[in-house]
Amino acid sequence: MTDSQELRQRWIRRYHPAPDSEVTVVCFPHAGGSASYFQPLSARLTPRAEVLALQYPGRQDRRSEPALTSVDALVDGIVDALRDQAGRPLVFFGHSMGGTLAFETARRMEAELDGRLLGLVVSGRRSPGSPRQEAVHLRDDAGLIAQIRKLDGTSSALLDDEDVVRMIIPALRADYTAVERYAYRPGPALSCPLRVYTGDTDPQVRADEATAWAEYTRADFRVRTFTGGHFYLAERGDEVIAALREDMTAFQERVRSGAGR
């Protein structure tokens, strides 16, 4: 294995290999999140699909690497890692910050994938044209942890453990720096279908900010609203899996009908 191949493999975790599946779902974690967040989803979707979960630098087994502080730098690494998967039909699924990364990766790769990007699913993220002035990344450590508690993204017991907090703070701050400094650069709309999943009480995404994603695709668009807040998918796992299966089927049927070419 070459050094470049080894570097690309650092970005991808394959918890339940399914080489005979018809589609690969690439999962993009939220700010402060890691690939293992999607391990339960991987187990539920296999063998219907093979799930690849991205592991950003600065967390878990990549903790010794510096976390990246810009969306562009993260997308650079992701695109390079995913080129090994470019021959397979792909669906991108990103939650929160991961939704922005999935969108920007789709923009970067759609042409070279030549129809193999079947669809994009963005969860818990407002549209690129609905920015808010936020500065969570400038808060002290206690302020960062308070934000995570507010969104209910990590077990309170874990956040009470000082060793755990010291471990997650650098990556968490880097992720918030990246996503809060992100500025959308206008360009062509995507050719693939786009789905937006959102919680009905998510303080991070209003209904109009979810529907505003419609302008970023020339293909079909749909918003799915679930009961819950920013991390609704932790409580609505069965509904999310059912929605993903339904949307994957629709994406595949679109390609089979010739509409995706």
List 21, 34, 42, 96, catalytic entry = 96
In this structure, of 49-53, 91-95, 161-165, the range with the lowest mean pLDDT score is 161-165
Whole-Å CA distances, 60 to 48, 56, 213: 28, 9, 32
Residue predicted with more confidence, 148 or 125: 125
Q: How many residues does the chain have?
A: 261
Q: Is residue 178 part of a domain?
A: no
Q: Number of structural domains, the chain?
A: 1
What is the rounded distance in angstroms from the CA atom of residue 241 to the CA atom of residue 190? 24
Model pLDDT, residue 136: 79
Q: Is residue 90 part of a domain?
A: yes
Evaluate if residue 138 carries a pLDDT over 70. Answer: yes
Determine the average pLDDT of the residues in 200-213: 95
The DSSP H or E segment spanning 199 is strand 194-199
What is the rounded distance in angstroms from the CA atom of residue 75 to the CA atom of residue 205? 23
Q: Is residue 244 part of a domain?
A: yes
Model pLDDT, residue 130: 83
Structure tokens, 188: 């062509």
Q: Are 192 and 118 in contact (CB under 8 A)?
A: yes
3-class SS of residue 134:
coil
Which of 132-141, 168-177, 240-249 has the highest mean predicted lDDT (pLDDT)? 240-249
Asked about 96 being catalytic, the answer comes back as yes
- The CATH number of the domain holding residue 95 is 3.40.50.1820
Residue 93 has φ and ψ, to the nearest 5°, of: -130, 115
Q: Is residue 27 part of a domain?
A: yes
Model pLDDT, residue 158: 57
Q: Is residue 158 part of a domain?
A: no
Evaluate if residue 261 carries a pLDDT over 70. Answer: no
Condensed to tens digits (0 to 9), the pLDDT of residues 8-41 reads 789 999 999 998 999 999 999 999 899 999 999 9
Model pLDDT, residue 151: 75
Nearest to 141 by CA among 179, 176, 181, 169: 169
Q: Give the position of tokens 């290999």.
A: 17
Instruction: For residue 179, name the pLDDT band (cuts at 50, 70, 90).
Output: very high
Q: Is residue 143 part of a domain?
A: no
Condensed to tens digits (0 to 9), the pLDDT of residues 106-118 reads 999 999 999 999 9
Model pLDDT, residue 70: 98
Model pLDDT, residue 154: 54
Evaluate if residue 160 carries a pLDDT over 80. Answer: no
Nearest to 25 by CA among 95, 74, 76: 95
What is the rounded distance in angstroms from the CA atom of residue 122 to the CA atom of residue 176? 18
Evaluate if residue 184 carries a pLDDT over 70. Answer: yes
Determine the average pLDDT of the residues in 199-220: 96
Structure tokens, 37: 């967040």
Residue predicted with more confidence, 96 or 258: 96
Q: Is residue 148 part of a domain?
A: no
Q: Give the position of tokens 């991070």.
A: 204
Whole-Å CA distances, 155 to 29, 158, 197, 234, 245: 16, 5, 22, 11, 28
Evaluate if residue 56 carries a pLDDT over 60. Answer: yes
What is the rounded distance in angstroms from the CA atom of residue 106 to the CA atom of residue 100? 10
Q: Is residue 180 part of a domain?
A: no
Domain ranges, residue 99: 3-133+186-256
What is the rounded distance in angstroms from the CA atom of residue 236 to the CA atom of residue 196? 15
